[in-house]
């Protein structure tokens, strides 16, 4: 039986030597259950050691290996070659959209982490927080209210799925808003009003048209578009006015 081969067209870019990205073609032998990451590692180790890629756990838990495959943001370690329908054309692989590129397929996440940090992504109990605040027990109903938002691995795929057609310039991205939802919906947090006020500003929940593609991109099933809609409902329900504690735990 003839060996099955796979063509890959990979975006190459080194800011020290290139003015713009350029596509370079490679070919690898297709192994059983081969993933896109397996193919990239094979190229790096056996054909072109200059290819820059990022990966760590290889199990879909760390979120480090995000790339665009045929225009779709995915985790390379969780995308099997056999699942790609290329009709004989090379698989196109590029760095994640909406992120600066450090080199080749390695996206720069510093701007993303700065945005996440600006939202003060930690629980801030107040006098009305149950029990002792952050260390309080939560009921199963209270945990379920978070809607898997606590499972975010900060992979950036949902941000990479955003296009000019479904977001305004300056939009902070679904990843940051999912983090705000996760905290605003937590009964232990006392800063939910402040959080809702911040995300009602320019670049927040009203500067986008939540799209199913954001949900499809999420590898852990968070449904970012749905979380943004719930934040909008919470904002409307609480009118974002006065000093009364926000009822976002009930609204979201």
Residue pLDDT, tens place only, 180-203 = 999 999 988 888 889 999 999 889
Domains of the chain and CATH, by start: 5-107 (3.10.20.30), 110-251 (1.10.1060.10)
Residue, of 197 and 133, whose pLDDT is higher: 197
The Cα–Cα gap between 169 and 235 comes to 22
pTM for the whole thing?
Answer: 0.88
Coil vs helix vs strand at 233? helix
* Token pair belonging to 203: 């670049």
Instruction: Please write the tens of the pLDDT for every residue from 10-37.
Output: 999 998 888 999 999 999 998 889 999 9
Percentage of residues of the chain with pLDDT beyond 70 = 92
Burial class (CB in 10 A: 0-12, 13-18, 19+), 211: buried
Q: Which two tokens stand for residue 215?
A: 């949900």
Residue 154's pLDDT is what? 94
d(CA 38, CA 54): 12
């Amino acid at each position: 039986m003839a060996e099955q081969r796979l063509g890959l067209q990979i975006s190459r870019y080194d800011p020290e030597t290139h003015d713009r990205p350029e596509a370079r073609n490679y070919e690898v032998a297709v192994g059983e259950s081969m993933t896109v990451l397996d193919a990239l590692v094979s190229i790096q180790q056996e054909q072109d050691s200059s290819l820059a890629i990022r990966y760590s756990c290889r199990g879909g838990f760390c979120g480090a290996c995000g790339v665009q495959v045929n225009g779709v943001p995915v985790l390379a370690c969780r995308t099997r070659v056999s699942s790609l329908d290329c009709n004989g054309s090379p698989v196109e692989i590029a760095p994640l959209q909406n992120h600066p590129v450090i080199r080749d397929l390695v996206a720069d996440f510093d701007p993303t982490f700065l945005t996440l940090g600006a939202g003060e992504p930690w629980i801030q109990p107040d006098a009305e927080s149950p029990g002792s605040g952050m260390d309080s027990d939560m009921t199963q109903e209270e945990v379920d209210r978070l809607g898997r938002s606590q499972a975010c691995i900060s992979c950036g795929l949902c941000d990479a799925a955003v296009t000019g057609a479904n977001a305004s310039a300056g939009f902070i991205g679904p990843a940051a808003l999912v983090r705000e939802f996760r905290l605003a919906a937590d009964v232990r947090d006392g800063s939910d009003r402040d959080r809702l006020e911040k995300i009602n500003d320019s670049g927040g929940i009203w500067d986008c048209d939540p799209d199913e593609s954001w949900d499809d991109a999420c590898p852990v099933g968070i449904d970012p578009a749905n979380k943004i809609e719930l934040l909008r409902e919470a904002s409307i329900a609480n009118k974002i006015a006065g000093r009364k504690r926000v009822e976002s735990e009930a609204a979201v």
